[in-house]
Structure 1
Amino acid sequence: MSLHEETALVLKGYEGQPELREVYLEHLAAHPDGMYKPCTAGHVTASALVIDPERERVLLTLHRKLGMWLQMGGHCEDGDATPEEAALREAREESGIAHGLTLLPGGPVRLDRHPIPAPCNWHLDVQYAALAPAGAEAEISEESLDLRWFPYAEVADVADTSVVRLLEATLERLAAR
């Protein structure tokens, strides 16, 4: 099955945000290339909020191009079989934590559609949360200006609303476990 088909299946199984989920599914139905950066109508991206093993902090990257503190994430690539794989790959690449990151069970934590500069127009981000292994040491990547662990209570002071909502949804998922 293609990444396009796998993503549609994941989204159909996602029970949250029904209106936004439908926007994503309509995008994929209308755009066979809707998973990848060249799609000028927008494209699906995948990200993961990395949580420390003690479940007290999250790892954020100061994005080089945007100058904003964000979760790890980015564009899907040809080698990604599922959105989960894309999110984990991006989390590993941007966090420097090469081994042991595991996604929280239950599929995506939330969806976030945000505008980006032309020619692409939109990112349709499928957002996950990942637990870092004990002893994990983060290492800054070329895509970042900085990489830092933030206590949950400090995230709203440094990050935008999208990251705050992702953290809130992640904490709800963790509490339900």
Structure 2
Amino acid sequence: MATADHAAVNVLTGYRPKTTAECVAVQRVRALMEGEPGSPWHRSSPLHITASALIVHPDSGRVLLRWHQRHQSWLLVGGHADPGEHDPLAIALREGREETGLPDLAPWPDAEVRHLVIVPVPANSREPAHEHADIRFVLATSAPEAVRPENPDAPLRWLTPDEARMAITEANILDTLSRVEPLLVR
């Protein structure tokens, strides 16, 4: 296993999958790590690691969703590693800042993985069908009013968990929300 790939394995070390599908996903990510050095992060690999986060404002109990034009649905913030990146939490933080403009994002209530899911991505004109092994975290902000969309095609919405459930159409995102919601109970 390549040294640079250890960060992903390290974040999964204490992680306890909650479903059979998630157990399989963790096994697939570990097998991916045993392959060619660096390949778990390459966008050209049929299965590669991505990192995302559900952003929350703990004081109000709201969550932030981002419209994803390609999928025509409300999703989490996150994405692919940039060249040289191998730490899923750092990737989720960078993507979160880029996509929301929130400067104070931090892991909340801790830096633990909240969900690992293999997400199928359909082919388009630029790339073939592939899968994302998405490692998910929770990030918090204390300044929700500072949110700024990355571009006009990617609006952002602060929602209560009930409102988010009504807006989300992807089952795996609903699953992530259900894992985070108990943390928001005040």
State if a TM-score over 0.5 links the two structures: yes
Q: How is 1:128-167 mapped onto 2 (pairs within 5 angstroms)?
A: 128-134=137-143, 136-142=145-151, 144-159=153-168, 160-167=170-177
Structure 2 unaligned blocks of 5 or more: none
Distance (whole Å) between structure 1 residues aligned to residue 172 and residue 131 of structure 2: 15
* Deviating 4+ runs (over 6 angstroms): none
Identity between Structure 1 and Structure 2 (%): 28
CA contact (8 A) 1:45 1:75 kept: yes
Return the TM-score normalized by structure 2.
0.83
What's 1:170 paired with?
180
Return the TM-score normalized by structure 1.
0.87
Residue 63 of structure 1 deviates from its aligned partner by 0.9
How much is the aligned-residue C-alpha RMSD, in angstroms?
Answer: 2.2
Q: How is 1:5-154 mapped onto 2 (pairs within 5 angstroms)?
A: 5-16=6-17, 17-32=22-37, 33-39=39-45, 41-97=46-102, 99-104=103-108, 105-118=110-123, 119=128, 121-134=130-143, 136-142=145-151, 144-154=153-163
The residue matched to 2:64 in structure 1 has which SS?
Answer: strand
CA contact (8 A) 1:28 1:34 kept: yes
**Which deviates more from structure 2 when the two are superposed, residues 51-60 or residues 123-132?**
51-60
Is the alpha carbon distance of 1:19 and 1:172 closer, same or farther for their aligned partners in structure 2, counting shifts above 3 Å? farther
Structure 1 unaligned blocks of 5 or more: none
**Aligned residues between the structures:** 174
Residue 36 of structure 1 deviates from its aligned partner by 2.2
